[in-house]
């Protein structure tokens, strides 16, 4: 399990996301119980936790898809809780959301899937400009040859790559990855991990990667935080997070790697 090399391009003086005292409950079930979190410019931050611990709730609140019960959420200098719907839409254009299921339109070709957000949000682009951008992002994810294929003709890993390409096409400042290796075989998972690091390097993105896959966490995370009992209990490098006798942390590690 190869650890990620130190990234010299992270700017610790610039926070692209700053969260303080975030709380969220559904009826009587408290999911997030006072979360503090910073994402720095150029950083890949991994949020670890078991299913149902609130990882996906966190990124939905960051993107304004869910409203926090309490707390301050600042994204790219904007107070998310105070934005109206038009302002939220403008902010979301700067946030790329890579969904677990890739969220491709099955009735559209790969090219049409990638063209859709350009037609909707970049109305001044010519058809030639759109073609050039589409071919660029397909090359970036290593699937130039798939431009005229249908999603049903692609493997799970290829669909994941196309989903990432569609997210990149609007040049987001922040990438949010929701379980990027879920349902993939080990070899394809390694390829997706490499792609996440390549996206960070090539597009200068700042990213939050939600996962319970420790191989993914170690391969892509400049910093790792662990969500336990509604709060971040551990943070640091991958090795620092797991250098503890805390049974909750060790059981999570053993669940992934025990023989």
Confidence (pLDDT) at 112: 95
Model confidence at 259, pLDDT cuts 50, 70, 90, reads very low
Q: For residues 39 and 62, give the distance between their C-alpha atoms in angstroms, rounded to a whole number.
A: 11
Q: Is the pLDDT of residue 98 over 60?
A: yes
The distance between the two most distant Cα atoms of the chain, rounded to a whole number of Å, is 59
> What is the mean pLDDT of the segment spanning 71-77?
97
Phi first, then psi: give them for residue 93, nearest 5 degrees: -65, -20
SS3 content of the chain, % helix, strand, coil (to 5): 40, 25, 35
Q: Is the pLDDT of residue 78 over 70?
A: yes
Confidence (pLDDT) at 51: 80
Confidence (pLDDT) at 235: 92
Residue closest to 171 by CA, chosen among 215, 211, 125:
125
Q: Per mean pLDDT, which range of 102-106, 148-152, 202-206, 210-214 is the poorest? A: 102-106
Confidence (pLDDT) at 258: 52
Write down the residue that tokens 């078991």 correspond to: 50
Q: What is the pTM of this model?
A: 0.92
Q: Is the pLDDT of residue 55 over 60?
A: yes
Confidence (pLDDT) at 7: 85
Residue closest to 166 by CA, chosen among 207, 110, 109, 92:
110
Distances (CA, A) of 41 to 17, 26, 173, 235: 9, 32, 9, 18
Q: Which domains does the chain have, with CATH numbers?
A: 11-94+174-257 (3.40.50.300), 107-171 (no CATH)
Q: For residues 107 and 113, give the distance between their C-alpha atoms in angstroms, rounded to a whole number.
A: 9
Model confidence at 93, pLDDT cuts 50, 70, 90, reads very high
Confidence (pLDDT) at 2: 66
Q: Strands 206-211 and 174-178: what pairing?
A: parallel
Model confidence at 53, pLDDT cuts 50, 70, 90, reads confident
Q: For residues 143 and 135, give the distance between their C-alpha atoms in angstroms, rounded to a whole number.
A: 9
Q: Encode pLDDT of 24-47 as tens digits.
A: 999 999 999 999 999 999 999 999
State the average pLDDT for the chain.
92
> What is the mean pLDDT of the segment spanning 78-107?
90
Q: Is the pLDDT of residue 201 over 90?
A: yes
Confidence (pLDDT) at 123: 82
Of all helices (H) and strands (E), which one includes residue 237?
Answer: none
Of all helices (H) and strands (E), which one includes residue 163?
Answer: helix 156-168
Model confidence at 1, pLDDT cuts 50, 70, 90, reads low
């Amino acid at each position: 399990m190869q650890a990620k090399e130190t990234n010299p391009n992270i700017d610790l003086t610039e926070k692209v996301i700053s969260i303080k005292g975030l709380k969220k409950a559904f009826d009587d079930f408290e999911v997030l119980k006072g979360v503090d979190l910073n994402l720095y410019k150029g950083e890949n931050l991994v949020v670890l936790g078991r299913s149902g611990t609130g990882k996906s709730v966190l990124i939905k609140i960051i993107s304004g898809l869910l409203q926090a019960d309490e707390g301050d959420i600042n994204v790219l200098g904007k107070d998310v809780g105070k934005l109206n719907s038009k302002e939220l839409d403008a902010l979301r254009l700067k946030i790329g959301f890579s969904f677990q299921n890739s969220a491709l339109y099955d009735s559209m070709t790969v090219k049409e899937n990638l063209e859709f957000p350009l037609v909707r949000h970049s109305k001044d682009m010519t058809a030639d400009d759109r073609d050039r951008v589409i071919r660029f992002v397909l090359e970036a994810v290593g699937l130039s040859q798939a431009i005229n294929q249908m999603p049903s003709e692609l493997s799970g890993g290829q669909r994941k790559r196309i989903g990432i390409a569609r997210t990149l096409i609007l040049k987001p400042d922040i990438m949010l990855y929701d379980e990027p290796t879920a349902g993939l075989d080990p070899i394809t998972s390694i390829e997706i991990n490499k792609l996440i690091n390549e996206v960070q390097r090539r597009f200068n993105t700042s990213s939050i990667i939600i996962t319970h896959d420790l191989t993914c966490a170690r391969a892509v995370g400049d910093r790792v935080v662990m969500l336990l009992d509604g709060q971040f209990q551990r943070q640091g490098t991958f090795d620092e997070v797991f250098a503890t006798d805390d049974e909750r942390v060790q059981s999570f590690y053993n669940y992934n790697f025990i023989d």
